[in-house]
Structure 1
């Protein structure tokens, strides 16, 4: 698949400000500080704001924008007031869509990606609507259909569970438990581990030691493995969601790091990270769209999954859970930044190379995954790139 050609770099980073960042220095967006620059560009396009026309991934677009900006404000607290305000703008845009727990189950698990910043805002403001919406999201997990083993359906497809939903589910369920349900923390941790474990056991790919996109508990889907129910291909971005879910959930649950459930998640994170390093593309240093069909004609290096992997690996080593992966992640980051980032005369950044939504409501064939369109300026990719950039910038 051919992505939109990358523009030649056209402006010097020093020309970006002051007309894009609305706050005073020391926040300076440069090519060594892509997190601020890409975040400003996302704001200039009004991305990550929920509308009725946002498409099937609109809630997830809002959620990853909020998470990326929240991390940005935490890392660069001086002069980032406009990003903090944008988080609240995004959350406010989402609230009307997710205030009813029963109706919430008509959305994919991606809806829960908005939960972490809802919790933060509900505890930092007097807006009671934020808290009631948090409660609706939390109750919607209990109302979500499950298979007979207790696995959450990702969406409306009976008995189908995807890796994708874990980035939204696990960190939210963990933060809710830590903030509101400490007396029942074991139950919350057990449910988080159950979801991740079911996916691990049903989606494990013996050829790569990675995880395929999802599974059908009933094993009746056209793509389902007759023994495990797993789909046939390791899709990079779905694995990226799962890996980020692990590292972010481990961080939220640090006060409980001596619990057996935390150690299970840490073991999964270590094993997946080790396997991921082994399938990096030797030529580019990044990762393919389909990770158990490396080099096959039609396959290509994909930007969103690669950014997610960089983020998770760098964060994992920074927090002391991984060793020796930094050099791999830094090489990948440099390739991603050089290949997929476009710089424009108006001072904004563009983002290329991110595949559109891939669903198991399909043939789930190699041809399906590699024929889905590339979306320019997809916030699912640029948001992941911000997270990767923030980790990279801690090394500078």
Structure 2
């Protein structure tokens, strides 16, 4: 199949997902479907909504905005309260859906979205922290910082502070990145470890450093995107902080290239390509593609990273996007991976390879669609 046909398939896939999903039953959320539970406020759906909001801004087709508005309105009430959202869970993932409220408020003018921004922000005001000052990943994971948590909270935090709180705590947001760079970055590879436990109590952490054992691709993908989105949200007056975020982004982007496969994609465990059970993984690769392309467009990374981002994107399409029967299928997606918890996830290589690899799941689909919006913006979709 030639490349142009892959893009035509992707366009059809985007509309197919939209036409067959709503807030109660999004067809992309396989993890929720498998659990048999009702849908709720969550970051997975939020990433899909972000992709559709981007498509609306590019194409100005009302079907995208109407879908996003209807989907999020199913959770957000007129007084700004949010159905199924429990602040006292102190789950950092639940901040991420709040990022879409900025754009929905801007596009619709609905005051309930402005009020809901305050609701989400109230979680950050009382969020438990490590001694270094970083938000815990979740209340059920005390004293732990997970790399993906930076993406879930910090772009929202920085944008809220900049727009609505007179920048009072912008430095607090920025400092959490500096802590992560100082503590969780490996100086040999330039990569970042998945997790850090300040208490050193978790079964998965090194008792001396508090760090987990491996470099999990999707967590690094979330993190590099957090650097992009937080840098874009920061006020221009914070020039030093902006340049430091840009420096972290540039350094990580360069170091990632050392581990890129010839296909353009990256492996589930980034630095262990020779492991027999390792595999080229879609979601993390797509996140890096999106981060590269978005950063180039916004002049955060040099122009050469545009080619790297495009190569990753095309590699995913060539390897994992296909037609099965009469339906489009996107494969190579790690369903879920974490540390500790009731599953006693030990952070070993064997653990990461044991998690299900699935098709058509939003943690892979959403990053691919977000990356595609950059491909469209750059005019590269059908060349």
TM-score, length of structure 1 as denominator length: 0.83
> Residue in 1 aligned with 2:92?
109
> Residue in 1 aligned with 2:173?
192
1:40 positional shift: 1.3
Mapping for residues 224-235 of structure 1, pairs under 5 Å: 224-235=205-216
Deviations 1:30-71 (A, max 9, x none): 643666434213213416757885689960112101111111
Alignment equivalent of 2:15, drawn from 17, 22, 40: 40
Where in structure 1 are there 5+ consecutive unaligned residues? Answer: 1-8, 14-29
Q: Is 1:302–1:353's contact at 8 Å kept on the other side of the alignment?
A: yes
> Residue in 2 aligned with 1:170?
154
Mapping for residues 136-151 of structure 1, pairs under 5 Å: 136-151=119-134
1:297 aligns with 2:276: yes
User: Do the aligned partners of residues 57 and 193 (structure 1) sit closer, same or farther apart at CA in structure 2, a change above 3 Å counting?
Assistant: farther
> Residue in 1 aligned with 2:57?
74
User: Please, which moves more after superposition, 33-42 or 271-280?
Assistant: 33-42
Deviations 1:295-315 (A, max 9, x none): 211111000000011111122
TM-score, length of structure 2 as denominator length: 0.86
Provide the rounded CA distance (Å) in 1 between the counterparts of 2:131 and 2:349: 29
Mapping for residues 50-69 of structure 1, pairs under 5 Å: 59-69=42-52
1:165 positional shift: 1.6
1:273 aligns with 2:253: yes
> Residue in 1 aligned with 2:184?
203
1:354 positional shift: 0.7
1:384 aligns with 2:367: yes
Provide the rounded CA distance (Å) in 2 between the counterparts of 1:110 and 1:379: 15
> Residue in 2 aligned with 1:353?
332
Partner secondary structure for residue 42 of structure 2: helix
Provide the rounded CA distance (Å) in 1 between the counterparts of 2:277 and 2:322: 24
Provide the rounded CA distance (Å) in 1 between the counterparts of 2:22 and 2:194: 26
> Residue in 1 aligned with 2:244?
264
Partner secondary structure for residue 206 of structure 1: coil
1:100 positional shift: 8.5
Q: Is 1:341–1:351's contact at 8 Å kept on the other side of the alignment?
A: yes
> Residue in 1 aligned with 2:142?
158
Provide the rounded CA distance (Å) in 2 between the counterparts of 1:69 and 1:93: 16
1:337 aligns with 2:317: yes
Q: Is 1:33–1:389's contact at 8 Å kept on the other side of the alignment?
A: no
Provide the rounded CA distance (Å) in 1 between the counterparts of 2:251 and 2:208: 23
> Residue in 2 aligned with 1:20?
none
Q: Is 2:320–2:332's contact at 8 Å kept on the other side of the alignment?
A: yes
User: Please, which moves more after superposition, 86-95 or 289-298?
Assistant: 86-95
Provide the rounded CA distance (Å) in 2 between the counterparts of 1:375 and 1:227: 36
Partner secondary structure for residue 331 of structure 1: helix
Deviations 1:313-366 (A, max 9, x none): 1222222222222222222211111111123665x5322111011111211110
Provide the rounded CA distance (Å) in 2 between the counterparts of 1:223 and 1:388: 32
Partner secondary structure for residue 88 of structure 1: helix
1:313 aligns with 2:292: yes
1:371 positional shift: 0.7
Q: Is 1:50–1:94's contact at 8 Å kept on the other side of the alignment?
A: no
Partner secondary structure for residue 76 of structure 2: helix
Provide the rounded CA distance (Å) in 1 between the counterparts of 2:300 and 2:277: 35
User: Please, which moves more after superposition, 101-110 or 202-211?
Assistant: 101-110
Q: Is 1:101–1:136's contact at 8 Å kept on the other side of the alignment?
A: no
Q: Is 2:41–2:83's contact at 8 Å kept on the other side of the alignment?
A: no
Partner secondary structure for residue 239 of structure 1: helix
1:368 positional shift: 0.5
State the structure with bigger RCO (CA 8 A, min sep 6), 1 or 2.
Answer: 1
User: Please, which moves more after superposition, 337-346 or 291-300?
Assistant: 337-346
Q: CA RMSD in A?
A: 2.8
